[in-house]
Structure 1
Amino acid sequence: MAGDRADRGKTISTVLGRRLGGELLALRESRGLRQASSAEALTASVAKVAKMERGLVPMRDPDVRALCHLYEVQDPVVVNRLLALARADRDRRKAKGWWNQYPQMQAMVEYVALEDIATNIRTWQLAVIPGLLQTPDYARALAVGAGSWDDPDEIEPFVEARLARQERLRGERPLQLWAVLWEGALRQLVGGRSVMREQLGHLSNMARQPNVKLQILPCLAGAHPGMTSAFSIVSFDEQGALDVVFAESTSSTVWLESETDAVHHAQVFDRIARQALAQTNTVSLIDAIRKEF
């Protein structure tokens, strides 16, 4: 009975699983193959292939490699990324991965798992500095201000997890981050003047990093296409990779996974970026606001 419950627990659709399944589906269709051909290559049933492509079951590395061979995917970078995606999905289902040691991140766990293997993120933020660019004191002040913690001792692990995410901006193959922020997010007094001075100084320094592009949309820009919501687009550079759009509200998180949604949000992001200040002018505005604090 316990084994049956465990098996049922694995047969769920996850964002990571759907991302992997969707990419393999696109590769199969690009070769004009039917699910029966994939099933034969895996010595599996057509029903199992259908579940794989819908992200309902975890995929083993040998299965991913066999399908890549069938679909004539020879680029090792693409194969390795698909393997990493499969591994991240298995870890997510088994509650592994560094992010799972922080229960405080439960609502963000699938986003962070994708962020961990992404190559590029574009984010538009209306009210807050993006988590990847927050200082510890700013993150702590946000957590305190949210007022949603039953136990104040949970706040420090939340801050630790936020800082752990920022490791993706470092290393040999750092995440490429393009962040566009509304000016109001820089002027919102989070944690007091000293906290904001430190946060804005950190923003100014990060804007000078080669893998970080930072733009500010000034209040004087007037009406713009991003006034109603903030969102992030998680991307993978390799050919055939599909973008994922993530949006968060006070009560829920929304994943938009279709190509149509991805294209729409990319176009909205580009329009916002065109109205925002250039990088040099952005740094000048950040430094000016910092002096005001």
Structure 2
Amino acid sequence: MTFDPESLGRTRSDLAAALSSERRRAGLTQTTLAKRCNMSQTKISNIEGGKITPTIVDVELILETLGAHDPVATEILALVRSAHTEWQDTWASQRRGLDKKQDELARLEAVTTEFRFFLPTMITGLLATPDYVRASLDRSTGDIAKVVARKLERQRTLMDSSKSFTFLLTEQAVRWPLVPPLAMAVQLGRLASLCRIPHIRLGVIPLEQVGPVVETPLSVFTVYDRRLVQVETHTGALILRDYKDVSAYREDFERYEAHAVWGDECRGLLEGWAERFTRQRQ
């Protein structure tokens, strides 16, 4: 399915109108439809009023009950997928101020208890040293000092033992020399030390690993509980909230996870690579 970025996350009213129209075509009242779908009349009313966004499963059940067929059913299912998707482009974020994006992430992290980070390209801000954070923002505009400060403030969430974090990085992401050798050695030392925190799991997929892990394109993504997934691209980020999308990315994560090294073996790799960067400095 192809998404129009400008329409993502803005189709709730279109979806509500389409479902209401299809119900009326079928000659059913909201109460009758609710009973046949084992839903409350209030829920049907809120869906048709655009007050809540139904899940794909909800819509599939409603369409089946209404006897809707293609192309109407296909169009309505496309609307619900779009209604659960949001596009945040890089340029709009920069115009608004990248520190605002950091504030949004902090609010999301505050209400999340289980995190999964897949990092095939570079080290994420939660794990980064100040030097690495500044280097990662080298091409950004605006008040970079404020953005760096916000990113470093967000790292405090790592110390919350009521949350669990799993970070999965490729060897390329870990060893990419974004900063000078000595700063890279410090960065890898930080990763190795974070491995020792009980509620933080950090794994690395070594370059020599082959198999299913390389069969699909590798994109940076973060799974927040079962609530949503953020998929990062070069020009922005997709926010996916439908449970099917979230489940698909969780399954991808588990498949990649099986190819990583963890614990003492992971620390050994990180410390060895840090030592190599240290020797480059000498």
TM-score by length of 1: 0.62
Q: Residue 260 of structure 1 corresponds to which residue in structure 2? A: 244
Identity of matched residues, %: 23
Q: Report SS of the residue matched to 1:219.
A: coil
Q: Residue 208 of structure 1 corresponds to which residue in structure 2? A: 196
- How far off is 1:231 after superposition? 0.9
CA RMSD of aligned residues (A): 2.8
Q: Which residue identity is paired with 2:209?
A: A
Q: Residue 290 of structure 1 corresponds to which residue in structure 2? A: 274
CA distance in 2, matches of 1:250, 1:227: 14
Q: Which residue identity is paired with 1:228?
A: L
Q: Residue 163 of structure 1 corresponds to which residue in structure 2? A: 152
- How far off is 1:103 after superposition? 3.1
CA distance in 2, matches of 1:288, 1:49: 59
Q: Residue 234 of structure 1 corresponds to which residue in structure 2? A: 224
Q: Report SS of the residue matched to 1:156.
A: helix
Q: Is 1:187 the equivalent of 2:175?
A: yes
Q: Report SS of the residue matched to 2:122.
A: coil
Q: Which residue identity is paired with 2:189?
A: G
Q: Residue 218 of structure 1 corresponds to which residue in structure 2? A: 206
Task: State whether residues 186 and 289 of structure 1, in contact with CA within 8 Å, keep that contact through their aligned partners in structure 2.
Answer: no
Q: Which of 122, 134, 139 is matched with 1:140 structurally?
A: 134
Could you say if the C-alpha distance between residues 148 and 103 of structure 1 is closer, same or farther in structure 2, counting changes exceeding 3 Å? closer
Could you say if the C-alpha distance between residues 124 and 47 of structure 1 is closer, same or farther in structure 2, counting changes exceeding 3 Å? closer
CA distance in 2, matches of 1:172, 1:206: 13
Q: Which runs of 5+ in 1 are unaligned?
A: 1-11, 14-27, 40-45, 56-101, 236-241
Could you say if the C-alpha distance between residues 260 and 171 of structure 1 is closer, same or farther in structure 2, counting changes exceeding 3 Å? closer
- How far off is 1:48 after superposition? 8.5
Q: Which residue identity is paired with 1:232?
A: T
Larger Cα-atom Rg: 2
Superposed CA offset, 1:101-132 (max 9, x none):
x9323445544422221001001101111221
Could you say if the C-alpha distance between residues 249 and 106 of structure 1 is closer, same or farther in structure 2, counting changes exceeding 3 Å? farther
Q: Residue 54 of structure 1 corresponds to which residue in structure 2? A: 53
Task: State whether residues 142 and 191 of structure 1, in contact with CA within 8 Å, keep that contact through their aligned partners in structure 2.
Answer: no
Q: Which residue identity is paired with 1:191?
A: V
Any residues of structure 2 matched to 1:92-103 within 5 Å, and which? 103=97
Q: Which of 263, 273, 282 is matched with 1:279 structurally?
A: 263
Moved more, 242-251 or 200-209: 242-251
Q: Report SS of the residue matched to 1:190.
A: coil
- How far off is 1:278 after superposition? 2.5
CA distance in 2, matches of 1:49, 1:137: 51
Q: Which residue identity is paired with 1:292?
A: R
- How far off is 1:54 after superposition? 2.6
